[in-house]
A and B are shown apart, each in its own frame.
Chain A
Amino acid sequence: MKIPYYPGCTLKTKAKDLEDSAIAAAKVLGVEMEELPQWNCCGTVYSLSTDDLIHQIGPIRNLIRAKEQGSDRLVTLCSMCYNTLKRANEFFLADEEKRDRINRYMDEEMDYAGDVTVVHLLEILRDEIGMDKVKAAVKKPLTGLKVSPYYGCMLLRPASIGIDDMERPTVMEDLLRALGAEVIDDPYKTECCGAYQTVNRKDVVVTCVHSILTSAQGNGAEVVALSCPLCDFNLDNRQKDIQQAYAGFHTMPVLYFTQLMAIAFDLDESVCRFELSSQDPRPLLKSKGLIA
């Protein structure tokens, strides 16, 4: 299956580990993610005001790029891109007058009708590939690895665009089980990491992430799995700041769900780009016999 793919900015730099591992792991399952030949930043956050049409144009332009590829679907990996693109499309569909205004404003593009469906890779795995097929592709089961899935906000809220039940999602759990991991159920899995406060109110992020990670650890997790580069920065890189704020805090590795897929599919370790992690996951993975 070929599907146009929207990477978003961070996947080309600090979250290359998400992009490389995802493309390689999806390929094993017969999903060819083809990057749009042309795309722009989605804006990272969906505009929450009724009258701010200019910030809807960035995401809508990317949906038009998918149309130009002859597709009515677009796949994303970054949770924030997913949310922004999907909500912008919803906004566009809901209001005919605003739709016309946006179309009139974008005079270089074809008119857009709101007919591109934004999907997240996790949805494709669940709804189109199926977890049985994922399981069949596993060569090195993640046996004995205690993984706590972390969804954060943008994959789930609001319900109209969420990929799963917003209070009790299970798609990552099902995937991790198919990969052979031991899944840790953690009540903080849908709690916000502190998001963009990481720029000017790092202390807020430190408090939020400390609660999330100590809860996961208290439930027995050795590693957290996620899908968003902003969550990843806050949960992984900000552990240094947590150590300073909370004596006795133990660090732990944080991985993208796609890196865990790549390991379980026994792909070349280079696609995981472990060197981009702040908390090196390699000692744990080695101790479990999952990497050499």
Chain B
Amino acid sequence: MKIRLSRDRVRGEFVKRVEMISGQDLLQCYQCGKCSAGCPAAFEMDILPSHVIRLAQMGQGEELAKANSYWICLSCQTCTVRCPRGVDIAKIMEALRLVTLRQKNRNKVEATALPMELLVELPQIAIVSNLRKMSG
């Protein structure tokens, strides 16, 4: 993957937005990889959690927009509680979801598109939590 680094990007709008929504200082991460090592959903992510943080530090919003990682994230908080630098990675994953969801018509899951059999099968807790994470 080719990455363009520049001061404008590293100090740019994308980094500011992610840091504002998550309340986290991205540069606290020193890339130890512990978050990725314990992530129960990493097997399905195209970019590992620690690499997501790295790309975010470097202001790589376009690369991250293509990633599935934060849509696969389970908000299980395992990474958050284990990070030796106190980075709340789950909050950064949420911020990345919100960067997309706060734009118009960018829902990952549409409530109205869920088939009736699925709605009957699922408990409310599944539907509400999913829509809270996957729609704006």
Contacts and interface: CB of A to CB of B under 8 A. Distances in A.
Nearest to A237: B121
B48 to A, nearest CB: 15
A38 interface: no
Interface in A172-218: 191-192, 194-201, 203-204, 207-208
B37 interface: no
Contacts of B74: 153, 192, 194-197, 204, 208
A90 B110 CA distance: 31
A166 B77 CA distance: 11
A59 to B, nearest CB: 12
B132 A157 contact: no
Contacts of B20: 50-51
Nearest to B132: A45
Contacts of B109: 199-200
A14 B120 CA distance: 10
B74 to A, nearest CB: 5
A274 interface: no
A159 interface: yes
Interface string B1-44: 00000000000000000001111000000000000000011011
A233 B20 CA distance: 35
A252 B78 CA distance: 26
B128 A200 contact: no
B77 A158 contact: yes
A208 B40 contact: yes
B124 A43 contact: no
A234 to B, nearest CB: 8
Interface in A11-46: 13-15, 41, 43-45
B125 A44 contact: yes
A45 B108 CA distance: 17
Contacts, number: 130
Contacts of B72: 197, 201, 204
Contacts of A200: 108-109, 130, 134
A80 interface: yes
A43 B130 CA distance: 11
A188 B124 CA distance: 25
A14 B94 contact: no
Given A157-B76, A166-B81, A199-B130, A233 B40 contact: no
A45 B75 contact: yes
Main secondary structure of the interface of B (DSSP, over half): helix
Nearest to A200: B109
B91 to A, nearest CB: 5
A48 interface: yes
Contacts of B80: 157-158
B126 A233 contact: yes
Interface in B92-132: 93-95, 98, 108-109, 114, 118, 121-130, 132
Interface in B39-71: 40-41, 43-44
Nearest to A46: B75
Interface of B: 20-23, 40-41, 43-44, 72, 74-78, 80-81, 88, 90-91, 93-95, 98, 108-109, 114, 118, 121-130, 132-134
In order of increasing CB-CB distance, the 5 nearest A-B pairs are: A192-B76, A48-B94, A157-B77, A199-B130, A196-B130
17 contacts: A10-B123, A43-B132, A48-B93, A49-B94, A50-B23, A55-B132, A80-B125, A158-B80, A192-B40, A194-B74, A196-B74, A196-B134, A199-B109, A203-B44, A230-B123, A233-B122, A233-B125
Given A203-B44, A207-B43, 20 more contacts: A43-B128, A47-B94, A48-B75, A48-B91, A55-B132, A153-B74, A158-B77, A158-B80, A195-B129, A196-B75, A197-B41, A197-B74, A199-B134, A200-B109, A200-B134, A229-B125, A230-B126, A230-B129, A233-B126, A237-B121
